[in-house]
A = this chain, B = another copy of it.
Amino acid sequence: MNDLAVVLLSGGLDSATCLYTAREAGFKITAVSFDYGQRHRNELMAAANLAQIAGAEHVILPVDLRRIGGSALTSATAVPKGGDGIGKENNVPVTYVPVRNLIFLSLAYAVAETREARAIYIGINAVDYSGYPDCRPDFIASFRETAALASKAGREGRTPEIRTPLVNLSKAQIAREAMRLAVPVALTWTCYDPQTKGGFFVPCENCDACILRSRGFAEAGLALSKEEIFGAPIRSA
């Protein structure tokens, strides 16, 4: 075990806040991102920028989930707009990617085990979230046990700790925490449905992810620029 933490870094506001939380805790960091065929693949550029600025190593793991399908994020199915489905009980939206966080956490766990990392940070959030089952604390608690049983690390009693610092925060609280930690929020990317405009990817401002993010900044009472609220455009070529 050493002073390393593995951070799952999508490039969005939540995972970027996690990255800075882990850094504040004193860890050296390996950030792990997934190139999974997501329609908002430009988030990987945001992740690379964030890792570089934070002084973290950055590993991008390819795992093509388009071959599995079943989600609007990895197929031609349209992404919902207008936010009508947000917060509806038992509504798993079409942007759900089958057991995505189970797959991503398993891969991150392998990275952590190989490097003998002390902790894994994942920015899941069960308050202002999109209704994904794999963002809830009961899933994480169960994953801890399963991964310990599956791993050499677990059999030897030196499992990496799985930390979910944002799980019980509202989006407004996450927005405030991001500002406190001086996360460069304009460099994060949240939008599920990037538009291309004049050689740049631009947030749509109207998918569930954009709406939840902008509501968070509004409820936090933060008067920010549009680029901070939705994320700045990213060069597409």
Q: How many copies does the complex hold?
A: 2
* Residues of A within 8 A of B (CB-CB), count: 43
Indicate whether A146 sits within 8 Å of B146 (C-beta atoms), given known contacts A99-B109, A133-B155: yes
Kindly state whether residue A129 has any CB partner on chain B within 8 Å.
no
Kindly state whether residue A101 has any CB partner on chain B within 8 Å.
yes
Kindly state whether residue A165 has any CB partner on chain B within 8 Å.
no
Chain A interface, DSSP helix/strand/loop, else mixed: helix
**Which residues of A pack against B, CB within 8 Å?**
59, 61-65, 67-70, 90, 92, 96-103, 106-107, 109-111, 113-114, 133-134, 136, 138-139, 142-143, 145-147, 149-152, 154-155
- Which 7 A/B pairs are nearest by Cβ-Cβ distance? A70-B114, A98-B110, A134-B150, A142-B146, A102-B150, A139-B149, A98-B113
Instruction: Pull 18 A–B residue pairs with CB atoms less than 8 Å apart, ordered by A.
Output: A61-B68, A63-B107, A69-B114, A92-B155, A96-B152, A98-B109, A98-B113, A99-B106, A99-B109, A100-B110, A102-B146, A102-B151, A103-B106, A133-B152, A133-B154, A134-B150, A142-B145, A146-B146
